[in-house]
Structure 1
Amino acid sequence: MTYSILGITLLISFITDIRNRRILNIVTFPAMAIGLLYYTVTLGFQGFLYSGAGLLIGFSLLLIPYLLGGMGAGDVKLLAAVGALMGTSFVLHSFFYTALIGGVIGLILLLKRSGIWNVFKSPTYTLYSLLNVKGISKNSGITYPYGVAITLGTVCAALLGGIG
């Protein structure tokens, strides 16, 4: 049951984050509540602790990047929902895959934005780039919907399991 709720939560969040750059509270909060309720009913107080710890870990993992302005609150709540539905170990694996995927997406966007991406397309452009290198400012404005990375990272955690 939790995989079904997780799948629905991720799918809706993926779509709304791509379309509107928002992950909706109406999706994440019920997912958190369902996780807490399901584990509490099925496993009692231990289940509540299992889901609650997952929720807190998921929330904590993205709290600092959010506070530094690196992502939106919806991203934090989505990972908290993953934790509430799947527990601590799963959300840690999900975060690991999310960070890898998010880093790759960010690197590709950075290369594309800086023009270095064209190096891979054209030998002529490669020579031009080497002669005319420009830095990228810290405020380059490169952003993307991080819910995509969270969704893909969570799917990797579900399919691939643990790390190592």
Structure 2
Amino acid sequence: MDYIILIILVLCVATDIKYRKILNIVTIPALVLGLTFHVVIGGLDGLFFSLKGLLVGFGVFFIPFAMGGIGAGDVKLMTAIGSIKGAAFTFSTFLYAAAIGGLIALFIIMKRKHFFQFLNRFFLSFMFLKGNRGSIQFVDKSDLAPGFPYGVAIAAGVLCTYIWGGIL
């Protein structure tokens, strides 16, 4: 199954970089393949193993998706990884991907040469909890780095989990 993950990641990274989309034609069959494989190999225990991974993959990216930080394709990619590799692998992948994604975003902000203005506005907004139409707004959306294909960070997270193992 490791080669299947590699193929899925190559396809998803390529389409994410080129079109800024992770395609359902890749993620949905991968998710079904993971569930089917584990049911055939492990029966009911295999189904629970795969479902736990799927739920972890969905759960860790649900809030960032709901806030508009990542796309639905990123969530589906993580659920597919979860259905194939299980909960522990998926959670470690999430932690690595979050760290790598943060470094990429920081690099983009620094490259734009607005890093110190960004930090200044961020900390001032944080200190004074400036309200915006009844909600708290820490940073204006225009202050954030332009979006980048997060599938790259997910793929790097998977590779880090393979190389260094789980974080926890």
TM-score range, shorter chain: 0.7 to 0.9
1:153 aligns with 2:157: yes
Alignment map for 1:19-30 (pairs within 5 Å): 19-30=18-29
Per-residue CA deviations over 1:45-70 (Å, capped at 9, x if unaligned) read: 10000001101110110011000011
Q: Distance in 2 between matches of 1:50 and 1:84?
A: 8
1:93 equivalent in structure 2: 92
Give the deviation of 1:115 after TM superposition: 4.2
2:140 to 126, 131, 138: 138
Percent of paired sites with the same residue: 43
Letter in 1 for 2:161: A
Q: Distance in 2 between matches of 1:106 and 1:82?
A: 23
1:102 equivalent in structure 2: 101
Letter in 2 for 1:114: K
User: How much is the aligned-residue C-alpha RMSD, in angstroms?
Assistant: 1.5
1:73 aligns with 2:75: no
1:36 equivalent in structure 2: 35
Q: Distance in 1 between matches of 2:104 and 2:27?
A: 24
Q: Distance in 1 between matches of 2:114 and 2:89?
A: 37
Alignment map for 1:114-129 (pairs within 5 Å): 114-116=113-115
Q: TM-score, normalised by structure 2?
A: 0.83
Letter in 2 for 1:57: V
Letter in 2 for 1:22: K
Q: Distance in 1 between matches of 2:51 and 2:6?
A: 20
Letter in 2 for 1:139: K
Alignment map for 1:5-24 (pairs within 5 Å): 5-24=4-23
Per-residue CA deviations over 1:13-45 (Å, capped at 9, x if unaligned) read: 000000000000000001000000000000001
Give the deviation of 1:110 after TM superposition: 1.1
Q: TM-score, normalised by structure 1?
A: 0.85
2:48 equivalent in structure 1: 49
